A and B are shown apart, each in its own frame.
Chain A
């Protein structure tokens, strides 16, 4: 669907060069809701603007449906853009035109007949739930309504890819929810692939099936949302995951833990299958160890359950090692919790 291949992008302004992207590769498959997350200045906007060539790569290639956008003539590129819708953080609606005419614009550009435009716009406004606002001006709408107009406009030409640059960042949590649900519906009902840029992990958790984490012009981690949330490798990713999944010990629990000899603190991530099987039970039956659950949390992502637990094991070091191996064989993610964190209490 969309493939970004080893792209570098440098901006030069007043003699200063900024490397916004440093060798980024990314593959969005048909039907995906692909999220890209990163802190401000990471290069997210630059990345998404590559997908419809609002930004040309300094180096590398961008393929849409297998065609290299760089090989297109200006005309072919304009044609290709009709197949890629885009919505914006600040909506970018024409203030001088009514909602109806805003949604109609892409069709007017295509010189469609009045009747065809009327029909399509009516249908789109109904889909986004704004039939009664056709005659309003954007200035008379709330932020959420404006974004719905933006979405209707982006869908007018029946694109197969929808680009969303911080589409919910200017909206309150409730409105964000409704816009995300709308994007989900678009993906499911119209089979439109969605690429969404955000700095909020909750957006990713809510609707994405895949995620890429960006930092300083690079993608530092990517994969299915379940995988990345389950086993965040990079510190930045862990920080993002932390914002939606609580997986740290509370202060009072930390205080009460005595990092004694022969005990180990381990964080476990149960994903998919492993959540429905009595793995822990089998573990204690097979190995001579004890454990104490200090923390447990369940989160739902992609209609799957992700369980995070922090266990304190006690017993023979070798036996604990074997038990952990057993868990790993059952596809349970294991992360050693640094004992030092708690050491202050007995030093």
Chain B
């Protein structure tokens, strides 16, 4: 019962794949999601760049993508994934749906973080005659940094969960290991080991995020 056919190297490999998938999709997802979040805040009614059209399109689009569970999204966009990376199987194929999954999520989280900024700050900015770009650059973002870090931490934890499901398309990673060896071959050791790895990973990221946010906030 306590024997396993999975080698230490396979574990290392899986951890690296998970980190790769999370890292790349978090990076690209942020590149898309953060501007989306900013756009949502500045184009909303009463925002510094109020724009009904942009807001009216962006808002529902994000809602639609967000309403799809990752496992459905994964299957639904297979043709698109194949078009982008040339294959629908493997780690790089998993990254495409991961990005599409996480970008709108980050967009929402960023929106919430920015909305938390004291409206008085925006008023002060306006009274100084700051341009919309300056409002974002010198007031909105600096005041939200702590909260943004926490948002990205939440997104990262969500991504780790999603990568486990990416095993379905042979995406590799820790989740894949747990499904292929642990679940399908009744390898309890692998299941326990992956659980432990995931717990440590999530804990580590969460406390890193918390510490960073606290350092930056200083209040």
Contacts and interface: CB of A to CB of B under 8 A. Distances in A.
Contacts of B118: 92, 95
A73 B131 CA distance: 13
Interface string A43-78: 000000000101000000000000000000000011
B203 interface: no
B11 interface: no
B138 A105 contact: yes
Contact of B128 (A91, A93, A109, A139): A109
A108 to B, nearest CB: 7
B52 interface: no
Interface in A76-90: 77-82, 84-86, 88, 90
B209 interface: no
A86 B124 contact: yes
Given A108-B138, A109-B134, A109-B138, A92 B120 contact: yes
Interface in B95-126: 118, 120-121, 123-124, 126
A110 to B, nearest CB: 9
Interface stretch (B22-30, B141-149, B181-189): B141-149
Given A105-B138, A109-B134, A137-B218, A92 B126 contact: no
Closest 3 A/B residue pairs (Cβ): A81-B129, A78-B129, A139-B219
Interface centre among A54, A78, A79, A90 (most CB of B within 10 A): A78
Contact of A95 (B126, B129, B138, B219): B219
Interface residues of B, number: 22
A106 B145 CA distance: 21
B127 interface: yes
16 contacts: A52-B127, A54-B127, A81-B127, A81-B128, A88-B120, A88-B123, A88-B124, A92-B123, A93-B124, A94-B121, A95-B118, A105-B138, A109-B129, A109-B134, A109-B138, A139-B218
A54 B139 CA distance: 17
Contacts of A94: 121, 139, 142-143
A109 B132 CA distance: 11
Interface centre among B120, B124, B138, B145 (most CB of A within 10 A): B124
A77 B131 CA distance: 11
A96 interface: yes
A263 B123 CA distance: 59
A97 interface: yes
A246 B130 CA distance: 46
Nearest to A102: B124
B128 A106 contact: yes
Interface residues of A, number: 29
Contacts of A52: 127
A77 B142 contact: no
A86 B127 contact: yes
B217 interface: yes
A82 B217 CA distance: 29
B123 A54 contact: yes
A138 B124 CA distance: 15
B216 interface: yes
B129 A97 contact: no
A54 B124 CA distance: 10
A52 to B, nearest CB: 6
A167 B142 CA distance: 25
A77 B118 CA distance: 24
Interface in A3-57: 52, 54
Contacts of B139: 94
B131 A78 contact: yes
Contacts of A138: 219
B130 A95 contact: no
Nearest to A79: B129
B124 A96 contact: no
A111 to B, nearest CB: 10
Interface string B66-93: 0000000000000000000000000000
B128 A82 contact: yes
Interface string B202-219: 000000000000001111
A82 B127 contact: no
Contacts of B123: 54, 88, 92
A85 to B, nearest CB: 8
A33 B216 CA distance: 40
A96 B218 CA distance: 8
A109 B134 CA distance: 7
Interface string A122-136: 000000000000000
Contacts of B219: 95, 137-139
Given A92-B121, A94-B143, A96-B142, A80 B129 contact: yes
Interface centre among B126, B129, B138, B217 (most CB of A within 10 A): B129
Given A108-B138, A137-B219, A96 B129 contact: no
Given A95-B217, A137-B218, 19 more contacts: A52-B127, A54-B126, A78-B130, A81-B129, A82-B129, A85-B127, A86-B124, A88-B123, A91-B120, A92-B118, A92-B123, A94-B139, A96-B217, A97-B142, A108-B138, A109-B128, A109-B130, A137-B219, A163-B127
A152 to B, nearest CB: 13
